[in-house]
């Protein structure tokens, strides 16, 4: 099964982009080749570009507090498992406290490192991080893999509370909706949303169908058009009926 996600607003779009970068970072930082560690370091620079919004930290703190208040309202609900609720509340409190304790602007430690900023400035240029452009960086890449790994983790660590908060917010958002089985007749599906506000859409379908969703949505209507890829990989309209699962998520 393949899951496609579609953000309904810029805030969720930013969180999904940061999550994608974080997944790439975790993969490449645990490899050993210098080129793979170069990608991990470049990904940190990309994170700073996306997370540069000054209000991202406060947005996450406000959302976590809102979730905390919502969860507290479930205490009297007999259908809610108390131990599970307490565990989630404890996680929200822990993540929020760590984010509050994170001092300064996001990535300030990286921005204040002149050596890292010199590398960042060169990586913007295609092929700009060659050994003759950055001999000190080339020398660092020749260090043992464990030493490079420790350096990269130390540079990333101040960013960790932000990504822990981001992961929790997205997890709670994804858990807020339930999947509903749908069929796109002749490869097309429309649904009126009647002005109800959603944060994110999740669409799940069988990979063997070879169907690719093109999604557009606003607070009034959702539209999904399925395409397929030929030998040239160019999307082509799919005229078959496509079964899929649709999840509309909102806090």
Distance CA(249)–CA(81), nearest Å, equals 22
- pLDDT tens per residue, range 28-67: 999 999 999 999 999 999 999 888 765 788 889 988 998 8
Counting the structural domains of the chain, the total is: 2
Pick from 173, 197, 230: which residue ends a domain? 173
DSSP collapsed to 3 states, 182-227: EEEECCEEEEECCCCCCCEEEEEECHHHCCEEEEEECCCEEEEEEE
Q: Are residues 97 and 220 in the same domain?
A: no
Question: Which CATH number is 237's domain given?
Answer: 2.60.440.10
Q: Are residues 169 and 200 in the same domain?
A: no
- Mean pLDDT over residues 145-156, rounded? 96
- pLDDT tens per residue, range 73-95: 877 777 778 888 888 889 989 99
Q: Are residues 169 and 201 in the same domain?
A: no
On whether residue 5 sits in a domain, the answer given is: no
Q: Answer whether residue 232 shows pLDDT above 90.
A: no
Distance CA(80)–CA(66), nearest Å, equals 19
Tokens 């970072």, located at residue: 25
Query: Does the pTM of the predicted model rise above 0.85?
Result: yes
CB atoms within 10 A of CB 90: 10
| DSSP-based three-state secondary structure for 69 | helix
């Amino acid at each position: 099964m393949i899951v496609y996600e579609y953000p309904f607003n810029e805030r969720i779009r930013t969180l999904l982009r940061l999550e994608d970068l974080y997944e790439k970072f975790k993969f490449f930082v645990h490899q050993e080749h210098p080129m793979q560690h170069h990608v991990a370091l470049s990904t940190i620079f990309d994170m700073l570009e996306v997370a540069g919004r000054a209000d991202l930290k406060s947005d996450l703190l406000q959302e976590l507090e809102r979730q905390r208040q919502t969860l507290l309202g479930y205490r009297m609900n007999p259908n809610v498992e108390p131990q599970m609720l307490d565990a989630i509340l404890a996680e929200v409190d822990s993540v929020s406290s760590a984010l509050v304790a994170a001092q300064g602007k996001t990535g300030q430690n990286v921005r204040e490192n002149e050596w890292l900023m010199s590398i960042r400035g060169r990586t913007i240029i295609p092929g700009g991080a060659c050994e003759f452009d950055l001999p000190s960086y080339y020398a660092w890449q020749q260090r043992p893999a464990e030493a490079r790994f420790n350096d990269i983790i130390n540079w990333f660590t101040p960013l960790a509370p932000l990504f822990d908060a981001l992961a929790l917010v997205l997890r709670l958002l994804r858990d807020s909706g339930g999947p509903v089985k749908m069929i796109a007749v002749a490869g097309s599906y429309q649904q009126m949303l009647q002005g109800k506000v959603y944060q994110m859409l999740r669409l799940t379908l069988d990979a063997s169908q070879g169907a690719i969703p093109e999604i557009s949505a606003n607070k009034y209507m959702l539209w999904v058009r399925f395409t397929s890829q030929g030998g040239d990989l160019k999307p082509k309209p799919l005229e078959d009926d496509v079964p899929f699962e649709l999840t509309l998520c909102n806090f």
